[in-house]
Structure 1
Amino acid sequence: MSATSVDSIKCENNGKKDEKKFELKKNFGFWSGVALTIGTIVGSGIFVSPVGVLRSVHGSIGVCLLVWVGCGLIAMMSALCYCELGASLRTSGGEVTNFQLAYGPAISFMYIWSKLMISPGTAITLQVFGSYLISPFFSDGCTPPDSAIKLIAILLLCFLTYLNCVSVKKSVKFEIAFSITKFLAMALIATGGIVCLALGNEAGRYNFDNAFAAGPLTAITAWDVGMAVYQGNFSYDGYRALYFISEEIKDVKKNLPRATITALSLVVAMYALVNIGYLSVLSVDELTSSKAVAVTFGHKILGPMAFIMPFFVCFSTMGNHNGVVLANARLPFAAARSGLMPHIFSMIHIKYYTPISGVLTTFFLTLFFVLVGDVESLINAFAFFEWAVTGLNSASVLILRRKFPKLDRPYRVPTVIPILLVCLSIFFVVVPFLRRPSFVFVYAVIFYILTLIGYYLYVVKKLRLPGSRRATIFLQKLLQCAETDWNGIELEKDN
């Protein structure tokens, strides 16, 4: 065996030998890690429109609840794969590192740009915030102007961007506070619904007495169940948030697996209880026709206090976008250290120790999509992306075990789990293409071709625009940032 330097992800520290390294600070412990994971998973979806699963299974209550729990178990299995990778590699930036090691820099480059393109989908979340915040000031039947909703969304975006630029600690405290708020909201829905059911709510009793009624069951096909899982899976997206900030976790070997598993277990349980709460009060028709289920639920059981539900939705969207900004800003940071993005992104603020250029990149991309407004077509084009990442990530666990058997792995996921996830991912990536081919997928294919061309020009041929060095120096001075003392990682590999 011999120690092999991974050149593709190694960065020199310019000869610095200071005892105190200039690097990202470890601001995340166990509870803050739990809060970030919960905050990134739980957005507006569970409060606004959790009906995709129910529609896919033709209104079958029993199958709907089973799918929600099943999606949670799939997310848990995938999270366990991330726990092994994060605890062993301990580098920020999500899949940037393990994709490079397992598949090479070209695949990692394609992943980076795909992730950056779909991440501004949170523009929808910001506009949900704007809509719910302003709607109480308009009478029934009056629709708030789109310009006002976008203005509020932009103001929130600016605030969260500023927060993540100047203080990771304050961002963490913000996330903890709003994660608590989210659980209070979900607990209110679950408890209120179950109490109504116990008191004899007719809609609730009918729903659960006929949970596995023959009518809906006979109409359900394997394709319907698959699409229900496809829908439900998006509600759990965000469980890998801690993997993106592995370098900033205290005692990462222990806290990354513990915090991720704890947070996801709580979310799975609360999602199931919230759905039970909804179904204890609302009929299937009311659920599937409502554009804001939590608000409809609030009007049913809270009476004059129903106004608190829109505020809970606002709090949830704020916490969700804060978690997304915090995690996604580490992506260009890690990519630049690997030579896959411009050098400026590998630097952090000299006073605040934040990847300021990554935060601002997320800001400008999201701002663009808030102003344009048409994000759904982009999300549809990359609908298969998350499943593809899940499959590639799960396979990388097995590949890295073979390539680097001596790598310290404080946590090891059972081998059957990544194998099962690879099979599921192949199904959910390939079947939609075969079952319902859509021209929108052509955009994704064109995008990946352009990405490979960009990789060849930027990484292989190392072509740079004229004046790029001077631009880097200018931005470095403007943003007051400098390169970190990061020496890459050393891995042992068979000759």
Structure 2
Amino acid sequence: MNYSNAKLRKPIDRVELKKRVGLVSGTSLIVGTMIGSGIFISPKGLTEGSGSVGLSLVNWLLCGGISLLGALTYAELGTLITESGGEWAYLKEAFGHIPSYLYAWMSILLLRPASAAIIALTCAEYVMVPLFDDGCVFLTAVNVYSVKAATNIQVIFTGAKLLAMAIIIIGGIVKMIQGHTDILATGFDGTESSPGKIAIGLYNGMWAYDGWNNLNFVTEEIINPSVNLPRAIIIGLPLVTVLYLLVNISYFTVLSVPQLLASPAVAVTWGEKVIPDVAWIIPVFVALSTFGAANGSMFSAGRLTFVAAREGHLMELLSMVHVKKYTPLPSLIFSAVLSVLYILPGDIGSLIDFFNFAIWMFYGATAASCIVLRFSPVYKNVERPYKVPLIVPFVVLVASIFLVVAPIIDDPRMEFLYVTLFIFGGLIFYVPFVHYKWYPKCIDHVTIFFQLLFNSSSPKSEPNL
């Protein structure tokens, strides 16, 4: 070897994820992912479960409050355990590998792809884009190319969707000034009394807020996470809650409860009544909003797959990072393929119910992990950069139990049983492949082939010279 030339070589970076997410991009990731398809489709489901204008608005505030408490709980966990993966990392530390594996199993194969499918179907329902799959492909390419490019897209599209909501809010204010308050004045007339139906309505509201935990999936890439993680949450959640409440008040200035429930696309119907000359602008902004939400969902889904594979819960290939871009290319492509497949059924309502039933099982378990770690011998005396009152994770745990149990009691369906069986069915694969680390020898050849194809390497090793 020529040592003189070797000395002139530039030091080689480790193949690992880099810290490139700051306060602005982190807040944009939270806000941009939360404000996606939910505010444009969830008003129907939440209003149906509420039965009245008054309870509907109360439930929007309630969903925002639960999300804020959940996010604050996650802020403590994220600053205590600075490992990417969100719930996966926290469940692992509190309860061991099996619960964290089951979360990864459920989230990677079903929840994250279903979330992206709901966003895609919403875009198609509003603007009739049958080839939204191309958008998934484009966003995957952006996330593979550069973390900075992905976060920049998130900031830009977050700005676009905030502008869209500003149009709806201002339109509602104008209508109220003009005296259109009759529908709002109906208050709590017709309020639903069934806890199960109210819980189903809350499912739709919580779907609109879902994404409050996305920043926790990229903790390893956050600059100064002990400061920027809680700050981004404290800025993002109240902002979204206020915006959602004002948007729904605007909806009710021109749409009664029956009219809202009969609308195929609530925001478009609102636009036709309030700004008929430029009503086309609403579908355009919905497309921008869903596009930004899909980008945030893709960003976090790839990281969850990556960290689970790095721990040995998935095949090694999914734990690899592109040697030049430092992005988890294999896991991003894997997540994108599953997301496209979930677009095929085309039923938004059933996907939302399925998604929320499953995810709130794990949100509750994660809130419980915050409580458990307070008394854990390992973490009990560890300094916490951010700490919430113990009542906060307890309230989140109780709320999650209600959201999971109430629909089963009110309207037991086989889908709930199927979801539960699928979660625990993951143990069939955990025992041989994870616990005993058995795998067919042909997997090595597959891994090498795709490693070369994707120009990726394991974070545990240095890139080839």
How far apart are residue 87 of structure 1 and its match?
1.1
Within 5 Å, give how 1:163-178 maps onto structure 2. 163-178=142-157
Correspondence for 2:186: 210
Residues 1:193 and 2:168 are matched in the alignment = no
The match for 2:265 among 269, 282, 292 is: 292
Within 5 Å, give how 1:404-443 maps onto structure 2. 404-443=379-418
How far apart, CA to CA, are the structure 1 residues paired with 2:35 and 2:12? 40
Q: How has the CA–CA distance of structure 1 residues 363 and 233 changed in structure 2, closer, same or farther, with 3 Å as cutoff?
A: same
Correspondence for 1:261: 234
Q: Which amino acid aligns with 2:185?
A: D
How far apart are residue 380 of structure 1 and its match?
4.2
Q: Which amino acid aligns with 2:451?
A: Q
Within 5 Å, give how 1:96-495 maps onto structure 2. 96-116=88-108, 117-121=110-114, 122-134=116-128, 149-150=129-130, 152-201=131-180, 205-213=181-189, 216-217=190-191, 220-373=193-346, 380-403=353-376, 404-485=379-460
How far apart are residue 207 of structure 1 and its match?
1.7
How far apart are residue 468 of structure 1 and its match?
1.4
CA deviation map 1:407-429 (0-9, x unaligned): 23100011001112212222222
How far apart are residue 132 of structure 1 and its match?
3.7
How far apart, CA to CA, are the structure 2 residues paired with 1:309 and 1:39? 17
CA deviation map 1:60-82 (0-9, x unaligned): 21221111001100000000011
Residues 1:83 and 2:75 are matched in the alignment = yes
What's the Cα RMSD here? 2.0
Moved over 6 A (4+): none
CA deviation map 1:207-237 (0-9, x unaligned): 2222134xx24x5344444333233111111
Segment drifting more, 296-305 vs 438-447: 438-447
Correspondence for 2:26: 33
Q: Which amino acid aligns with 2:188?
A: F
Q: Which amino acid aligns with 1:258?
A: R
CA contact (8 A) 2:171 2:274 kept: yes
Aligned to 2:183, the other structure's residue is in SS state: helix
How far apart, CA to CA, are the structure 2 residues paired with 1:373 and 1:397? 37
Correspondence for 1:146: none
How far apart, CA to CA, are the structure 2 residues paired with 1:160 and 1:477? 22
Q: How has the CA–CA distance of structure 1 residues 433 and 332 changed in structure 2, closer, same or farther, with 3 Å as cutoff?
A: same
Q: How has the CA–CA distance of structure 1 residues 359 and 409 changed in structure 2, closer, same or farther, with 3 Å as cutoff?
A: same
CA contact (8 A) 1:118 1:378 kept: no
How far apart, CA to CA, are the structure 1 residues paired with 2:185 and 2:282? 28
CA deviation map 1:166-223 (0-9, x unaligned): 111111111111101111111111111111111122xxx212222134xx24x53444
How far apart, CA to CA, are the structure 2 residues paired with 1:20 and 1:156? 32
CA contact (8 A) 2:66 2:399 kept: no
CA contact (8 A) 2:197 2:407 kept: no
CA contact (8 A) 1:27 1:168 kept: yes
The match for 1:94 among 86, 89, 106 is: 86
Correspondence for 2:6: none
CA deviation map 1:358-404 (0-9, x unaligned): 10011110122234546765654454212111111111011112221
How far apart are residue 432 of structure 1 and its match?
2.2
Q: Which amino acid aligns with 1:46?
A: I
How far apart are residue 480 of structure 1 and its match?
0.8
How far apart, CA to CA, are the structure 2 residues paired with 1:463 and 1:317? 41
How far apart, CA to CA, are the structure 1 residues paired with 2:194 and 2:122? 33
Q: How has the CA–CA distance of structure 1 residues 369 and 212 changed in structure 2, closer, same or farther, with 3 Å as cutoff?
A: closer
Correspondence for 1:14: none
How far apart are residue 321 of structure 1 and its match?
0.4
Number of positions where the alignment pairs a residue of Structure 1 with one of Structure 2: 448
CA deviation map 1:294-325 (0-9, x unaligned): 11111112121111000011001100100000
Correspondence for 1:489: none
Correspondence for 1:50: 43
Q: Which amino acid aligns with 1:74?
A: I
Segment drifting more, 359-368 vs 397-406: 397-406
How far apart, CA to CA, are the structure 2 residues paired with 1:240 and 1:316? 18
How far apart, CA to CA, are the structure 1 residues paired with 2:363 and 2:424? 21
How far apart, CA to CA, are the structure 1 residues paired with 2:417 and 2:358? 14
How far apart are residue 406 of structure 1 and its match?
3.0
The runs of 5 or more residues in structure 2 that have no matched partner are 1-10
How far apart, CA to CA, are the structure 2 residues paired with 1:375 and 1:278? 21
How far apart, CA to CA, are the structure 1 residues paired with 2:246 and 2:266? 14
Q: Which amino acid aligns with 2:235?
A: T
Q: How has the CA–CA distance of structure 1 residues 429 and 292 changed in structure 2, closer, same or farther, with 3 Å as cutoff?
A: same
CA deviation map 1:20-67 (0-9, x unaligned): 543211111111111111111111231245122222122x21221111
CA contact (8 A) 2:37 2:208 kept: no
How far apart, CA to CA, are the structure 2 residues paired with 1:232 and 1:469? 45
TM value normalised by structure 1: 0.86
How far apart, CA to CA, are the structure 1 residues paired with 2:437 and 2:221? 31
Q: How has the CA–CA distance of structure 1 residues 345 and 375 changed in structure 2, closer, same or farther, with 3 Å as cutoff?
A: farther
Q: Which amino acid aligns with 1:62?
A: G
CA contact (8 A) 1:50 1:293 kept: yes
Q: How has the CA–CA distance of structure 1 residues 272 and 382 changed in structure 2, closer, same or farther, with 3 Å as cutoff?
A: closer
How far apart are residue 120 of structure 1 and its match?
1.5
Q: Which amino acid aligns with 1:281?
A: V
Q: How has the CA–CA distance of structure 1 residues 396 and 484 changed in structure 2, closer, same or farther, with 3 Å as cutoff?
A: same
